[in-house]
Structure 1
Amino acid sequence: MEGFLILLVLGFFLGWALGIAGYRKASALQRRVQALEDAVRNGAPLAAPAPLPSPWDKPAEAPAPVEPVEPAPKPVEEPALAAGPPPAGPSRRRPGLEELLTLRWGTWLGAGALLLAGVFLVRTAVEEGWLGPGPRCALAGLLGLLLIGGAFWLRRRPAAERPGIPWPDQAPPALAAGGLAILFGAAYATGPMYGLVPPLAGFALLALVALAGITLALAFGPVVAAIGIAGAYVTPALVETQDPSLPGLFLYLLAVTAAALAVLRQVGAAWLGWCAAGASAAWVVAGGMIAADSAAAWAPALFAPAAAGLHVGLLPRAALASGLGRRLALLPFALLAAAGLVLVPGAGSLAPAAGILLFSPIALANAAWERRLMPLPFLAALAGLLALLAWTIPAWLAPEEAVTIDGMVQALLPIHPWPPEALRPFLGAALLLAAMHGLTGAWQERRSARSLAWAALPAAVPVLTLLVAYARVRGFALDGGWALAALALAAASTGLAGLAMRAGAVQRAGAHAAGAMAALALGAAMVLADQWLTLAVALFLPPLAWVEGRSGLAPLRRVALAVAGLVLVRLLLNWHVAEYAVGATPVLNGLLPAYGLPAASFALAAAMFRRRRDDLLVGVLEAGALAFTTVLVLAEIRHAMTGGDWAGSADWSFREAALQLTALALLASLTRWLERRLGGRRVLGVGWRLLFTGVAGFGAVLVLANPAFDSEAGLLPVPVFNELALAYAVPGALAGLALRGLAPRLLARILACYALLAGFAWVTLETRHRFHPGGMALDLEPVGGSELYAYSGAWLVFGAGLLALGIRQQVPALRLAALGVIGLTILKAVFIDMAELEGLWRVLSFLGLGLALIALGAVYRRFVVTPAPVPPG
């Protein structure tokens, strides 16, 4: 009995809460009536009455106000007071608290009180033992019928409408909702609770009440329908039976769904559609779990596409003119397809997959009938592809026969024709999915107004289906047979492109050409591996750009962006690249097709795409070309220095680091030149700045890890033009040249500091190398007197060169850097030379320092310091 009471109370609150939903709609209608009354009072002419609008009609735009014609002025004999404006009619006012409490909430609370009175009456009868279960259920049913009858009686005698009341009478729908909830409780008590009737009869009673509630919605509005729909979908869960019939259950649910959508079609309450879709999807999942591997698993699998078809078919076509109507068609379809997909993994039968495939003909038929439903085929195709991915493929081995010669196995030949029996259902489903979308799209693209959207189906769905099937069956292993299937698909797309070009449909031809290129790329992936596969994919970018330019098909830019992203991931974020076999030949090795040709392909495609529009795709392609070029240069140097073991564990020598640093600096300078030559390309501007930042960081590391501290760093015994120049002089000079016109102050300061540091390191280390060409490490050879004196001379020359450059270019920073170097030389002379040098070397050191300082003062006086102007007279 407690369950009965709980059910009745929940029904009351459900009807009470859902009654709020009708408030806005009733208020909107009442405001329109009030506006008409105001217009009548003001004397405005009324047009002929228009037909009642459908709940799905778009709101008509308000007509432009017509300016009244001013009457001719009458002659005025004597001055009079100007007449004021005509009195306006009574303005609409917002409902006050009293009206809200009495006319609306009070009505629904009264209905709830009636429901609770019936509940308490039944409970008292149970506690006092007045009546048995049968009479209680009969009285409850009679009470529900009386309330519904009272609702009809009040509906025939509506309360007098008064101008101040902003909504119609709420008593009839409130009584009907309460009576329906009591009837549902009485049916539940008669059947599942007390077992007064057999389970099938109890189920029929509950279903009858629920369908009656849906029917009552046509008279009392969507609130009553909500109670009926909720009861209809909950009814099967309330009935327990020893022999459940899943086909019967889902046939009943299909009828309930059709009834709910019929009410939705009449009253236009969108939330009824959402409730029906959610409940149907929940029953699909629950039914699939109940059926599992039984023979009745086809019932929920077929119910999902059938319910989706009802959601689309019973929706008025006028509703598709609004965003809400289109969502009511698309989202329930997607929700039911997702519920059907839940049943596919681990299914013991083909029913769930067959149900998913049935979404495609429903979607294709509706899209062909109504062009605003064109997203449906793509949703169905997505569901089909996901079903193929989730399909449980049994283990299989192709039976083969060994061919032997002299006892040695020479070949393995298949005994039975391919495919094996275990793969036939999966491959058949894949073929059916591709054929449905491909053939229907090819047929409709010449007949429909949305020809481009239809052309996208044969261009995309068969290729994606082949990709999924190949991945599930072969696991991306190399296979020439699958490549032939991709080649046949490319030929078919090429034929469709030719037919489209013959018909003058350039965009359709572009879509099919993109499909042909995608099929060819997939075929290349089936027979190529490692860098050759990435190269084959990258080489499709220029043809894509050409097709996009000829057809003007903008979606091809998104396809090219996806292809570019795939190539970037495979070459820059793939650690298996180090395992590619590139050969041992310097420069002319496998690194060129791995990085050089993709870089060229990216650069060419960027130039071709930029002719139409400079967007994200062009930026990604330019960045990819620069990134591949950088990696190629560094990898080629590594390959040459390690004898081909570029990805191995060979040590990183100072010579290799110097070559890579110089190469980075040259590449950064070349990129900056290209940026200026091409009119300030943003990607190239960011690229050379990043490269020079890397040069500064890499160079700073080499300054710290220099050969003076590394006894194993062997340098060429060549003065000036050796590894030291590549590690310090060249990148430092290029960094200094990059300072011209450099806007960001932070980067300019970084590069200036690095250039000064690299130049000072080169002068110092080159001096050390001149005295010890065989081994310049400090732990191998101590610093002699002449060498120590040479450092002072080299630093002074370096400082003088900086000073001369600063004076010539009128750059104060260079002059300050020169003074810093000279100051460092003075400190060295005072603290090191005085203690370490003896005899003539000490004299020469201080003599040279003194002369240099005197010369410095003269230079500053002559070229830097400006004399003060002499006052006249």
Structure 2
Amino acid sequence: MEIILGLVVILVVIGGWLLGILGFIRAARAERGLAALRRQVEGLMTAAAPAPPQVPPQVAPWQPVAPPPPVATQPPPIPTAAPAPGSARDVEALLTQRWGTWLGAAALLLSGVFLIRYAVDNGLLGPAARCLLALLLGAGLLGGAGWLRRRAETGAAAALAAGGVAVLFGAAYGAGPFYGLLPPLVGFGLMALAAATGLLAALRFGPLVAAIGVTGAFATPALVATSSPSLPGLFAYLLLVTAAALAVMRRTAWVWLGWAATIAGALWVAVMAGEAGGMDAWAPALFVPAAAALHLGLLPAAALDHVAGRRLSWIPFAVLGVAGLLLEAVAGGAAPRVGVLLLSPLAVWKGWAEPRLDRLPWLAAGLGLLVLLLWALPDWQPTGEVISIEGVVQAILPGAWAPEVIRPLLLTAALLAAFHAAAGLLLETRAARPLPWATLAAAMPVLTLAVTYAQVARFQRDALWALAAGLLAGGLAAAAARARRQDSLQRAGVYAAGVLAALALGCAMLLRAHWLTLAIALFLPPLAWVEAKADLPPLRSLAMAIAAVVLVRLLLNPAVLSYDYGTTPLLNGLIPAYGVPAAGFALAAAMLRRRADDRSVAVLEAGAMALTAALVALEIHHLLAGGALPGRVTFLDAAWQVAALALQAALLLGWAQRPVPREAGRVLGGMALAGGGVLILANPIVTGAPAGWSALVAGYLLPAALAALLLHRPALRDVASLVGGYAVLAAGVGIGLAIRLAFHPDGALAAPPVGEGEQWAYSGAGLAYGGALLALGIRRQQRGLRRAALAIAALVTGKAFLLDMGDLAGLWRVLSFLGLGLALIALGAVYRRFVIPPASRPD
């Protein structure tokens, strides 16, 4: 009775499913009718046109066929029986054939779950019977899907097939891990078989079935619990699943399937990194290059004609490589390193076989360098024996060539560099594009040596490492001579750039402080020369990278203040530290500008001016601080810094013909303006700082004069009012401080009281200064200067009535008001004569 009831329930559910997909069938019939009408129209249109070329099925998705050219005849009208195009039809198609299909598949899966749940709740069937009926149901759904597809009901067939695969997977899971009816290995095999069935069925029923199949395939190991897990078996299974998914992708061009296989495989490597240990670590380690080989091998060449195909060539490669690096970081040992390093021969093979992927070896080389960087070295000591007498080292007896603990790293680095160098040297003369291979051969040994030096020597000075860099430079020079004999200037230029890089690395192994930066900067002009002779524009980017390193070390490194530059004024270590690199920047910019005035030239020009400005500022501070750069900043120091900035800005804005120097002049001028504003507010009267004539001239009068001279330069047109206002204010403050210093020559401008003569001098100087501004404003017809003169006259008038009337006595008061009166009368006369038009003059 229970069995009959269960069969009745199954029939009812299946009947419900069939009723549920009637909408799909009717929609598909309407679609077939429309497709038949379209075929009739296309037949008439292509009667006089040549047929499009036939494409093999396995590569057709990657090689879309161009539509046939239109013919002169007009197609016949579409019969009224066909649905008219429009939004209503589009919505119906979306509801019935896209969303309905997916919802139907979900409904089938949930129906199977609810059926089992009903049977369990009511005790109708035992576990074995439930799993058997689920198996029969899944097989029946797949059979029904095949029957519907033969009747051209593709949407409904896909829904039934997806539900069938899901039910089969559930039956295998129930028989294995859930109920324990079968041994774990057998249950695992059944689940894998169900997932493989889904991937195979996807070739016939579409992507929905593939999604369920690939999800089940990669999820199967996580659902099976066993007391003796086997990492080799797990990753062998995952490799088979990856191969199956990529084979389906190759056939169908479902790009998402490739991404799913990539992400799932990499996640399994990352998840099992903590479980891998000892010999088991070889399984996930070897999975990395094996899966990458599958991705590259099963991707058809036609896929590289499309953006998605090109991404599928290198992104899975990179993702799997990163998973291998994570495995190395967590599990450690030799196995993960070998797995990542095996990507290099794979990349070289693919780059040689497919010229469009000749940059793939660079990706593998980068992963190899990261392997060296992540190599965890324990503490070690040199093997030489130290001989000392009374604590003083007299000699070091040489020991083994390297301690045992660092030999694996050194050998791995040597093999990595040698392999890429040999591959580049071998293939540069055989490849369609030789430059990527030559660059690989030139750059990889230098980069490997740099990384290994950083790991082993920890950036300490070492003559042996510098000797290795020198030998490497010699080898690259031989490769450059070989390329030159073969009349390949570009390849020779690549190797010449490698020689420069190796020599710069050797300098870094021997030199420290500013001498290292100087050595690096000196390679810029030779690099520019190589770029011009070999016609290698990529070297411009390398020049910008070197320039960035130099600028960061000299401008953003606070340690430069602690370097030993000596105590000699002006002629000290600052000249080679900043002056020589600035000259190297300028020379390299001029050499590069002969071929193209691009971003690299702008960077080098800006860097030259920045280093020059830093040199001037540090020389001033070094001089005024008594030869110590971290010395105290005095008012005299700040004043001369403002004067130096203003003078450099004036030179650049006044004579520069190129945009970058002009912009540099604006930047330096802005810095001078800001510094000058600070000095106006924090003047010696306010701060009490001692000041002499040189400080007043440098801090106020000279910057004001330079600002006035540059006021009408085109580069300052948008800030002319600001610059003019600063010039007037700075000159006025400077004149006032000069009067104060004249009456108090000791330089203490804040403490002494103001005498009568000094107070009258302020009024007289103010009137004279205002008169000069008025004359200049009238001569140049500048209203701003005339208004500034009137403002100064107003200030002097206010001072006379508010201060001089009470503070001055006797002859000083007479002279103060006499001068003020004469000045105001003269001011009115001058305005009447030269400024106010006759028609506007009062009677």
Asked if TM exceeds 0.5, the reply is yes
1:581 equivalent to 2:586? Answer: no
| Alignment match of 1:628 (pick from 603, 611, 621) | 611
- TM-superposed CA distance for 1:526, in Å, is 1.0
How far apart, in 1, do the equivalents of 2:412 and 2:534 lie? Answer: 34
Moved more, 600-609 or 213-222: 213-222
Matched position secondary structure for 1:289: coil
Matched position secondary structure for 1:713: coil
Alignment of 1:519-530 (within 5 A): 519-530=502-513
Q: 2:525 maps to what in 1?
A: 542
Alignment of 1:780-819 (within 5 A): 780=752, 782-819=753-790
Task: Give the AA of the match of 2:778.
Answer: I
Residues 654 and 713 of structure 2 are in contact (CA less than 8 Å); yes or no, is this contact kept in structure 1?
no
Cα gap change, 1:844/1:412 in structure 2, threshold over 3 Å: closer, same or farther? same
1:149 equivalent to 2:143? Answer: yes
1:216 equivalent to 2:201? Answer: yes
Q: 2:818 maps to what in 1?
A: 847
Residues 691 and 749 of structure 2 are in contact (CA less than 8 Å); yes or no, is this contact kept in structure 1?
no
- TM-superposed CA distance for 1:99, in Å, is 6.6
- TM-superposed CA distance for 1:514, in Å, is 1.9
Task: Give the AA of the match of 2:141.
Answer: L
1:684 equivalent to 2:661? Answer: yes
| Alignment match of 2:590 (pick from 607, 626, 633) | 607
Task: Give the AA of the match of 1:800.
Answer: G
- TM-superposed CA distance for 1:852, in Å, is 3.1
1:88 equivalent to 2:86? Answer: no
Residues 477 and 495 of structure 2 are in contact (CA less than 8 Å); yes or no, is this contact kept in structure 1?
yes
Task: Give the AA of the match of 1:737.
Answer: L
Matched position secondary structure for 1:412: strand
Q: 1:21 maps to what in 2?
A: none
1:158 equivalent to 2:151? Answer: yes
Residues 469 and 506 of structure 2 are in contact (CA less than 8 Å); yes or no, is this contact kept in structure 1?
yes
Task: Give the AA of the match of 2:646.
Answer: A
- TM-superposed CA distance for 1:821, in Å, is 2.5
How far apart, in 2, do the equivalents of 1:549 and 1:754 lie? Answer: 46
Alignment of 1:253-652 (within 5 A): 253-291=238-276, 293-404=277-388, 409-415=393-399, 417-648=400-631, 650=632, 652=633
How far apart, in 2, do the equivalents of 1:383 and 1:523 lie? Answer: 24
Cα gap change, 1:242/1:88 in structure 2, threshold over 3 Å: closer, same or farther? same
Q: 1:664 maps to what in 2?
A: 645
Residues 524 and 533 of structure 1 are in contact (CA less than 8 Å); yes or no, is this contact kept in structure 2?
yes
Task: Give the AA of the match of 1:747.
Answer: V
Cα gap change, 1:828/1:172 in structure 2, threshold over 3 Å: closer, same or farther? closer
- TM-superposed CA distance for 1:656, in Å, is 2.5
**1:75-106 Cα shifts (integer Å, max 9, x gaps):** xxxxxxxxxx8852447745476676667766
How far apart, in 1, do the equivalents of 2:345 and 2:28 lie? Answer: 37
Cα gap change, 1:62/1:27 in structure 2, threshold over 3 Å: closer, same or farther? farther
Cα gap change, 1:487/1:92 in structure 2, threshold over 3 Å: closer, same or farther? farther
- TM-superposed CA distance for 1:370, in Å, is 0.5
- TM-superposed CA distance for 1:245, in Å, is 1.6
How far apart, in 1, do the equivalents of 2:707 and 2:90 lie? Answer: 78
How far apart, in 1, do the equivalents of 2:520 and 2:318 lie? Answer: 33
**1:358-390 Cα shifts (integer Å, max 9, x gaps):** 111111101100112223212211211222222
Cα gap change, 1:31/1:653 in structure 2, threshold over 3 Å: closer, same or farther? farther
- TM-superposed CA distance for 1:51, in Å, is 2.8
How far apart, in 1, do the equivalents of 2:107 and 2:738 lie? Answer: 102
How far apart, in 2, do the equivalents of 1:31 and 1:574 lie? Answer: 73
**1:635-675 Cα shifts (integer Å, max 9, x gaps):** 11111112111213x3x333323322222221111111232
How far apart, in 2, do the equivalents of 1:630 and 1:231 lie? Answer: 66
How far apart, in 1, do the equivalents of 2:391 and 2:748 lie? Answer: 67
- TM-superposed CA distance for 1:237, in Å, is 1.7
Residues 486 and 523 of structure 1 are in contact (CA less than 8 Å); yes or no, is this contact kept in structure 2?
yes
- TM-superposed CA distance for 1:130, in Å, is 4.3
Cα gap change, 1:674/1:49 in structure 2, threshold over 3 Å: closer, same or farther? closer
**Greater helix proportion:** 2
1:748 equivalent to 2:729? Answer: no
1:138 equivalent to 2:132? Answer: yes
Matched position secondary structure for 1:56: helix
Residues 482 and 526 of structure 1 are in contact (CA less than 8 Å); yes or no, is this contact kept in structure 2?
yes
Q: 2:235 maps to what in 1?
A: 250
How many percent identity over aligned positions? 53
- TM-superposed CA distance for 1:845, in Å, is 2.7
How far apart, in 1, do the equivalents of 2:134 and 2:291 lie? Answer: 34
Task: Give the AA of the match of 2:361.
Answer: P
Q: 2:40 maps to what in 1?
A: 37
Q: 1:14 maps to what in 2?
A: none
Residues 298 and 351 of structure 1 are in contact (CA less than 8 Å); yes or no, is this contact kept in structure 2?
yes
Residues 49 and 68 of structure 2 are in contact (CA less than 8 Å); yes or no, is this contact kept in structure 1?
no
Task: Give the AA of the match of 2:812.
Answer: W
How far apart, in 1, do the equivalents of 2:609 and 2:287 lie? Answer: 55
Task: Give the AA of the match of 1:367.
Answer: G
Q: 2:827 maps to what in 1?
A: 856
- TM-superposed CA distance for 1:430, in Å, is 1.7
Could you tell me the TM-score, scaled by structure 2's length? Answer: 0.89
- TM-superposed CA distance for 1:704, in Å, is 3.7
Cα gap change, 1:724/1:208 in structure 2, threshold over 3 Å: closer, same or farther? closer
Q: 2:699 maps to what in 1?
A: 727
**1:541-582 Cα shifts (integer Å, max 9, x gaps):** 222222222222221111111111111111111111111111
Could you tell me the TM-score, scaled by structure 1's length? Answer: 0.86
How far apart, in 2, do the equivalents of 1:617 and 1:481 lie? Answer: 35
Q: 1:19 maps to what in 2?
A: none
**Unaligned 5+ runs, structure 1:** 1-23, 69-84, 160-167, 717-721
How far apart, in 1, do the equivalents of 2:617 and 2:28 lie? Answer: 70
- TM-superposed CA distance for 1:736, in Å, is 0.8
How far apart, in 2, do the equivalents of 1:734 and 1:541 lie? Answer: 35
Residues 764 and 791 of structure 1 are in contact (CA less than 8 Å); yes or no, is this contact kept in structure 2?
yes
Task: Give the AA of the match of 2:457.
Answer: R
- TM-superposed CA distance for 1:43, in Å, is 8.4
How far apart, in 1, do the equivalents of 2:341 and 2:109 lie? Answer: 48
- TM-superposed CA distance for 1:221, in Å, is 3.3
Matched position secondary structure for 2:379: coil
**Unaligned 5+ runs, structure 2:** 1-26
How far apart, in 1, do the equivalents of 2:835 and 2:458 lie? Answer: 75
Cα gap change, 1:49/1:764 in structure 2, threshold over 3 Å: closer, same or farther? closer
Q: Give the RMSD, CA atoms, in angstroms.
A: 3.0
Residues 377 and 406 of structure 2 are in contact (CA less than 8 Å); yes or no, is this contact kept in structure 1?
yes
How far apart, in 2, do the equivalents of 1:378 and 1:407 lie? Answer: 50
Residues 56 and 318 of structure 1 are in contact (CA less than 8 Å); yes or no, is this contact kept in structure 2?
no
Task: Give the AA of the match of 1:643.
Answer: G
Cα gap change, 1:861/1:400 in structure 2, threshold over 3 Å: closer, same or farther? same
Cα gap change, 1:820/1:48 in structure 2, threshold over 3 Å: closer, same or farther? closer
Residues 305 and 356 of structure 1 are in contact (CA less than 8 Å); yes or no, is this contact kept in structure 2?
yes
How far apart, in 1, do the equivalents of 2:29 and 2:351 lie? Answer: 35
Cα gap change, 1:26/1:861 in structure 2, threshold over 3 Å: closer, same or farther? farther
Task: Give the AA of the match of 1:226.
Answer: A
Residues 535 and 597 of structure 1 are in contact (CA less than 8 Å); yes or no, is this contact kept in structure 2?
yes
How far apart, in 1, do the equivalents of 2:638 and 2:189 lie? Answer: 85
Residues 803 and 815 of structure 1 are in contact (CA less than 8 Å); yes or no, is this contact kept in structure 2?
yes
Q: 1:713 maps to what in 2?
A: 690
Cα gap change, 1:264/1:359 in structure 2, threshold over 3 Å: closer, same or farther? same
How far apart, in 2, do the equivalents of 1:177 and 1:568 lie? Answer: 61
Cα gap change, 1:279/1:654 in structure 2, threshold over 3 Å: closer, same or farther? closer
Task: Give the AA of the match of 1:158.
Answer: R
Cα gap change, 1:268/1:344 in structure 2, threshold over 3 Å: closer, same or farther? same
How far apart, in 1, do the equivalents of 2:303 and 2:34 lie? Answer: 23
- TM-superposed CA distance for 1:190, in Å, is 1.8
1:757 equivalent to 2:708? Answer: no
Residues 195 and 213 of structure 2 are in contact (CA less than 8 Å); yes or no, is this contact kept in structure 1?
yes
Cα gap change, 1:335/1:804 in structure 2, threshold over 3 Å: closer, same or farther? same
1:700 equivalent to 2:694? Answer: no
Cα gap change, 1:836/1:408 in structure 2, threshold over 3 Å: closer, same or farther? closer
Residues 711 and 775 of structure 1 are in contact (CA less than 8 Å); yes or no, is this contact kept in structure 2?
no
Q: 2:184 maps to what in 1?
A: 199
